[in-house]
Structure 1
Amino acid sequence: MFRQRIWISAFVACAAMRVAHADATVEKAPAQPPHPLTVPAPVQLAQGVYVMEGNGEAVAPANRGVVANNGFIVGPRGVTVIDTGSSYRYGRAMLDAIRTVTPLPVERVIITHQAPEFVFGTAAFRDRDIPILAHRRAAELIRDRCWICLKNLRRTLGEDEMAGSRVTVPDQTVDSTTTLDSGGRALQLLYFGPASTPGDLAVLDTATGVLFAGGLVSIGRIPELRNESIPGWLAALRQIASLDAHIVVPGFGPPVPPAGIAKTGEYLRELDAGVRRAYASGVGLSEAMHTVQTPDFRQYRLYATAQPANVQRLYLQLEKQ
């Protein structure tokens, strides 16, 4: 486990900076509890399975970063947490919310992917010596890149809101689909290959058929292309659709039946086709970012910002081919 906190003084040489960002970014947990944060009330989806649903918007001071979905699964022995929110303060509030449901201890945290809205509450669990698990590639990206995300969150939400938040690298990793017992509950950690990110995991509670899809599914909010291209993502969605799942919890948006995930795939295909047409027609990047549209998804959250960003990423990928 990554037990030590790495402190960075003003005189640390540049060569040491990457190491310093690896497991902590400069501050340890607050000695006193932070200002209270109201988090979504846990909603029971099935026996022992709870979701805490964010509002699906972009992170902003008004929502205090409470935008993504996370949840937990209560077994006969303990609790498994799925994703931890965007701040240390959220992680602490999540622990309090779990205690309103069960007195059982949290045995493990599973991080589905490395997006900042899902990982920065993890430090609150690390401070209680709770194991943190992710796919190996997600853990590597958290170690190598999440200090940048933390800087951006501090800039957006402010130092006070992000007090105690730090990069917390998972101490347990998997490389492929794995079945494990966590809290006395049989869980399948599903890896479909690089998709929305290189290390996406989906978590299936085998007793109830509830699937936490993490970054693979977004409902009512434009999916953001981050590190990978579309074919792997579409392949992952097809495999999810073939599972014996009853409810799918997306990273953003309300839980849906398995058929509901089709919208994510429809957006990705429509986006991909539009960018390819523009590129083949000789439309320049700047023009494509304004003209390539996905009309069926104009009402989705983040359309004004995520749509042109997605067009840019796909266009640049085509230029490299």
Structure 2
Amino acid sequence: MKGTDQFLRRAWVAAFAACVAMRVAHADATTDRAPVQPPHPLTVPVPVQVAQGVYVMEGNGEAVAPANRGVVANNGFIVGKRGVTVIDTGSSYRYGRAMIEAIRAITPLPVERVIITHQAPEFVFGAAAFRDRDIPILAHRRAAELIRDRCWICLKNLRRTLGEDEMAGSRVTVPDHTVDSTTTLDSGGRALQLLYFGPAATPGDLAVLDTATGVLFAGGLVSVGRIPELRNESIPGWLAALRKIGSLDVHIVVPGFGPPVAPGGIAPTGAYLRELDAGVRRAYASGAGLSEAMRTVQTPDFRQYRLYPTAQPANVQRLYLQLEKQ
């Protein structure tokens, strides 16, 4: 019954409140400051050219773990006539430095801008390596706010998972340029559309479209072969964003996790979200408590996806708690 889950919910809320209360004590340890130099290099994915001047560095799509050194998410860069635009920066300062070296092996042109698509930790902590080179960093305003307010917690978790050595020099780096809506900009001599569809997977998701080639970096909006993780928002806005992506003139979609796909390859992300939402609503309407719903609500078509054993019950929990607030 729902009443039997009050303790579980109270414990969850109390744990979150305790983390927030620790923020001031840890602010000096996580804010943007001079880095510690990493003692040994990191091998990053080889940049793969998916269209003229557009390169993808594909992570392995797994959960962050010492064995993969946090190299799990996708990022990439776009080479223009006069400079390079970087899309997302990996999970550590060491990754950001290695990414800069990988770009130098492709082109002598300077990096002119970094674009962060959303605030998930696997995408943001390499930004400090670019900040140290005075390279502008851009994100949606809401993503920048969340990086400032919450990413110190993510950094603590990454240090605990990967170790202080692996995360040496990593720090919270708040973007110094922001946008509030869809924007077209010239970056490095290429026209890029920064697409904002409203709150979706997170409040500040951006997708980046290279108009010359039709390559779309979808960031947190699309996951291929990996369970999408609900973070800050509910499902309707996410599904609406996916529909809008489907209406664009796009040739290749680079997901946040998993291999680049044709536009039709984004459909499983929406299918999972709809199936998950329907399952949680049925469980809630039937009177199932939170712990029971986390155990019994399944999405069978996606059992073979990465992170299913951990992300599925976590997603159920988040949706269930949202229903309780309605």
TM-score category by the smaller chain?
Answer: over 0.9
Matched, 1:240 2:245: yes
- Indicate the residue corresponding to 1:45 in structure 2: 50
- Structure 2: state its 5+ residue gaps: 1-21
Question: TM-score w.r.t. structure 2 length?
Answer: 0.92
Give 1:23 deviation, angstroms. Answer: 3.5
Over the aligned positions, Cα root-mean-square deviation in angstroms equals 1.3
Structure 1 288/15 Cα, relative in aligned 2: closer, same or farther at 3 Å?
Answer: closer
Matched, 1:137 2:167: no
- Indicate the residue corresponding to 1:274 in structure 2: 279
Contact residue 280 and residue 316 of structure 2 kept, 8 A: yes
SS of equivalent to 1:62: coil
Which of 123, 133, 137 aligns to 1:128? It is 133
Q: State the AA in 2 paired with 1:95.
A: I
- Indicate the residue corresponding to 1:303 in structure 2: 308
* Partners of 2:95 and 2:59 in 1: CA distance: 11
Query: Counterparts in 2 of 1:1-321, with a 5 A limit?
Result: 17=25, 20=28, 23-24=31-32, 28-30=34-36, 32=37, 34-321=39-326
Structure 1 53/239 Cα, relative in aligned 2: closer, same or farther at 3 Å?
Answer: same
Contact residue 77 and residue 84 of structure 2 kept, 8 A: yes
Give 1:34 deviation, angstroms. Answer: 3.3
Contact residue 34 and residue 89 of structure 1 kept, 8 A: no
* Partners of 2:121 and 2:133 in 1: CA distance: 21
Contact residue 22 and residue 143 of structure 1 kept, 8 A: no
* Partners of 2:198 and 2:23 in 1: CA distance: 33
Residues 94-124 of structure 1, C-alpha deviations (whole Å, 9 max, x = no match):
0000011000000000000000000000000
> Which 4+ stretches in 1 moved above 6 angstroms?
none
- Indicate the residue corresponding to 1:11 in structure 2: none
- Indicate the residue corresponding to 1:6 in structure 2: none
Residues 137-164 of structure 1, C-alpha deviations (whole Å, 9 max, x = no match):
0000000000000000000000000000
Give 1:19 deviation, angstroms. Answer: 5.9
* Partners of 2:268 and 2:257 in 1: CA distance: 13
Give 1:16 deviation, angstroms. Answer: 5.2
- Indicate the residue corresponding to 2:18 in structure 1: none
* Partners of 2:240 and 2:59 in 1: CA distance: 27
- Indicate the residue corresponding to 1:4 in structure 2: none
* Partners of 2:156 and 2:246 in 1: CA distance: 37
Give 1:36 deviation, angstroms. Answer: 1.0
SS of equivalent to 2:68: coil
SS of equivalent to 1:67: coil
Q: State the AA in 1 paired with 2:109.
A: L
Contact residue 30 and residue 155 of structure 2 kept, 8 A: no
Richer in helix (by share): 2
Contact residue 77 and residue 86 of structure 2 kept, 8 A: yes
* Partners of 2:154 and 2:24 in 1: CA distance: 19
Give 1:22 deviation, angstroms. Answer: 7.4
- Structure 1: state its 5+ residue gaps: 1-13
Give 1:29 deviation, angstroms. Answer: 1.4
* Partners of 1:289 and 1:280 in 2: CA distance: 14
Contact residue 42 and residue 95 of structure 2 kept, 8 A: yes
Contact residue 86 and residue 119 of structure 1 kept, 8 A: yes
Give 1:28 deviation, angstroms. Answer: 2.8
Question: TM-score w.r.t. structure 1 length?
Answer: 0.93
* Partners of 1:240 and 1:23 in 2: CA distance: 35
Q: Percent identity?
A: 88
Residues 34-69 of structure 1, C-alpha deviations (whole Å, 9 max, x = no match):
311010000000000000000000000000000000
Structure 1 21/204 Cα, relative in aligned 2: closer, same or farther at 3 Å?
Answer: farther
Structure 1 117/15 Cα, relative in aligned 2: closer, same or farther at 3 Å?
Answer: closer
* Partners of 1:18 and 1:34 in 2: CA distance: 24
